[in-house]
A and B are shown apart, each in its own frame.
Chain A
Amino acid sequence: MLWSFISRTRGRNRFDLTDWLTWGYLIFGMLLMFGPVLWVAMSSFKTDAALSEYPPSFLPLATQTAMVKGYDKPLPLYEITAGEHKGSVLAQIRRIGLNAQMVDPAHPDEKINVKIGDRQPKRELTFAWDNYSKLFKRFNFMRYFWNSVFITVVATVITVLFNSMAAFALAKYKFRGRMVVFLLIIATLMIPPTINLVPIYLVVNELGLVNTPWAVIWPAVATPTGVFLLRQYMLTIPDDLLDAARMDHASEWRVYWRIVLPLAAPAIAVLVIFSVMWRWNEFLWPLIVLNRSEQFTLQLALNAFQGDLQTSWSGLLAMTILTLLPITIVFAILQKNITAGIAQSGVK
């Protein structure tokens, strides 16, 4: 049953070499793409000590402990691998040099000496949930989340609006200066904003935007990439459609909004994905213009775990997963719409 489902092929009934290769590629791809993320997710449940362990384990393991009569604290359990007590499970009281002083939990009175090379910690699956609970105690998580969402959504809406308007003008009108404007935009297409950080900061500071979300939003919305992408797509929309609407006395705005925008939906979908990713993951620029904790975004909070000399991995990983979660959920929900939106261009 399952087999016939998997081996469903286009028009033919044979499961041939191409199909084998296809499935091999897909499964290999899945492991390669998901594996590392899954590993990080697992690691985010490890304690700091387990994180610096080598060789690393996939599952978060921690040494088992047991309460032994006569001792205040729980003692770690070890399996004895060699020597006289081979095979038994003992609790370690303390380690002195190369020997460990151990005790059998069943006979708490008798102390046993074991060489440290002869014992293996007995481990079990333990999720260090407090990596996460610590975060909520330390950060105003919902506040950062809201800031990130606000910046991402508002910037994306403005980006799509402004870029598509500009792209429409560049694609569908012949006016003097069109080439100049287009070349200006193209010229900056490849220049990464990172190299202009200082001058941009000076401008933003002059405008009094520092420490407001607009300091992140405004400089980001006039993306040359977006204009380029949309213009190239709009060039493929036939002028006849526009002219037909103009015959019906539609204003230019109506032509743009009612005809060009819906037809450019696939390209806009691509731009939306781009914009959401950029704004959600942006770090360097917010770092410079947002320095009050009530304005922080999730990425800034995430990086607060990186100090001068040390990095708190357990916190960093847990925060990574929390930052990843919202965008994963949104993607999972909209996934069909995104692909469907792009696929619609095929119907056209």
Chain B
Amino acid sequence: MVTKMLLAGCTALSALAFSAGIANAVELRFQCYQDGNECQAWSEEIKKFEAKNPDIKVAVDEVPYKAILESLPVQLASGSGPDLARVSDLGGLAKYMLDLRPHLKDADYWEKNYGDELKWTRVNGPNDNGIYNLPDQLTITGPFVNKTLFDQAGVAMPGDKATWDDWAKAAVEVAKKTKTPYPMAMDRSGHRFAGPAISYGAKYFDGKGNPITVDDGFKAFAEKFVKWNKDGTMAKDVWAGSGGATYQDASQEFINATLVFYLSGSWQVARFGREIGDAFDWEVVNSPCGPAACTGIPGGASVVGFKHTKHPEAVAKLLDFMAQEDVYADFIGQTKAIPANKSLQEKRVDYPDADSHVKKALAAFTIAAKSLSPRAFEFQGYKNNRAIMNATAARITQAIVGESTLDQALDRINADIAEAVKASGGAK
């Protein structure tokens, strides 16, 4: 009898609580894409958030990257779309992003820890001090080296200040001695190309923000790169194998130990750790030097809220929760990424269940993050960077496969970018 009453009471109570929850619940939609397990990691953290804030429900919609790249802009332009999303095209979507500053209790915490990356979304003129994005994953481009192949060949690895030519020479020698098919490779992406180009002195844009893509520095590296592709120093398949701005990596070659030197980025670390395992020793080394610098280039994804949301308070609350050091550290640890958070960069994130190669590589990238060329950082926040990167990949490939000469390709890069700038300028 007593149990029965208790049970009835409980049911009534829970029904009450449930209906109360329904009545006040704010539902947020979070559109999330992932390279590894980012969405699952955020879902875990968001569960904690929901426990603390029973009046807010967050639905995580895991979508293909294509949806973020292609359909999200269309949705946003017509005033629909999710409340939050994980995006990578920061400059392009900045005009739709919600300024969190008025809703944050401690905006200084954000400035202090994410200041550099916050600049990437401030496109509304010099006085813009809005806080629009939570950089949840900082990526750094940099070279991976198969150390075992160097050992087998008995060739010493070039040191910290080694140039591109040094590395090319060493990689070719190693490949020859160990009968490895490919000395070097670089992802097919204008973003990866920008690192060495800046090292060779490419400026990409002037003080007023006008693009000057093809300058002496850019041309110098482009010449070298095309030559290396033609003479087999670079794995030709990677760039020549695709058209347009299609992305193509060479991680399979590296995992199979058929590649000595591979310019990619920090997002590969977790995969290499998992798939190479103990098969050979691999390392992340300093970006090779050109005459102007020795730099990689930053990148990455951010979680952002959108202006059209009906619940800006709740969106800001969620993002602020995600930005807190303990939550953020947990997320970074699970996704094996480089933290953008400054104090975490100092403290070093502990990556649970990562093997020694992975830990070493992530540490190397974290250090590289602090020594990037300022131009590389600015380029990531430059509004025309996507147009520049797409044109680079498409046109340089044409020069590599012989559809056009390098000079023609460079001219076309300039023309493409001029047009893109005109189109995006014409929008206002």
Contacts and interface: CB of A to CB of B under 8 A. Distances in A.
Interface of A: 48-49, 52-54, 76, 92, 94-95, 97-98, 116, 138, 198, 201-202, 205, 210, 287-288, 291-293, 296, 300, 303-310, 312
Given A52-B256, A98-B152, A291-B31, A309 B249 contact: yes
B88 A49 contact: no
Interface string B71-89: 1101100101110000010
Contacts of A305: 64
A291 B82 contact: yes
A210 B80 contact: yes
Nearest to B277: A49
A308 B88 contact: yes
Nearest to A305: B64
Nearest to A53: B256
Given A49-B275, A52-B256, A201-B74, 17 more contacts: A49-B277, A54-B252, A94-B278, A98-B152, A138-B40, A198-B74, A288-B70, A291-B61, A291-B67, A293-B61, A303-B66, A306-B64, A306-B65, A308-B33, A308-B247, A310-B35, A310-B251
A97 B281 contact: yes
B35 A309 contact: yes
14 contacts: A48-B271, A97-B151, A205-B78, A288-B74, A291-B61, A291-B63, A291-B75, A292-B29, A293-B61, A300-B64, A304-B34, A304-B62, A306-B64, A308-B33
B63 A300 contact: yes
Nearest to A49: B275
B287 to A, nearest CB: 18
Contacts of A210: 75, 80
Contacts of B218: none
A52 B65 CA distance: 22
A299 to B, nearest CB: 9
A227 to B, nearest CB: 29
Interface string B42-71: 000000000000000001111111110111
Interface in B221-270: 247, 249, 251-252, 255-256, 258, 265, 267-268
A310 B65 CA distance: 10
A239 to B, nearest CB: 48
Please provide the 6 A-B residue pairs with the shortest distance between their CB atoms, ordered closest to farther. Answer: A307-B35, A303-B64, A288-B71, A49-B275, A310-B35, A293-B61
Could you say which of B71, B152, B268, B278 has the most chain A C-beta atoms within 10 Å of its C-beta? B71
A54 B256 contact: yes
B79 to A, nearest CB: 8
B301 interface: yes
Majority secondary structure, B binding face: mixed
A306 B247 CA distance: 12
B36 A307 contact: yes
Interface of B: 29, 31, 33-36, 40, 59-67, 69-72, 74-75, 78, 80-82, 88, 139, 148, 151-152, 247, 249, 251-252, 255-256, 258, 265, 267-268, 271, 274-278, 281, 301
A310 B275 CA distance: 13
A54 B33 contact: no
A258 B277 CA distance: 68
A307 B277 CA distance: 23
B68 to A, nearest CB: 8
A287 B71 contact: yes
Nearest to B62: A304
Contacts of B139: 309
A159 B335 CA distance: 45
Nearest to A139: B62
Contacts of B60: 293
Contact of B61 (A54, A116, A292, A308): A292
Could you say which of A92, A98, A308 has the most chain B C-beta atoms within 10 Å of its C-beta? A308
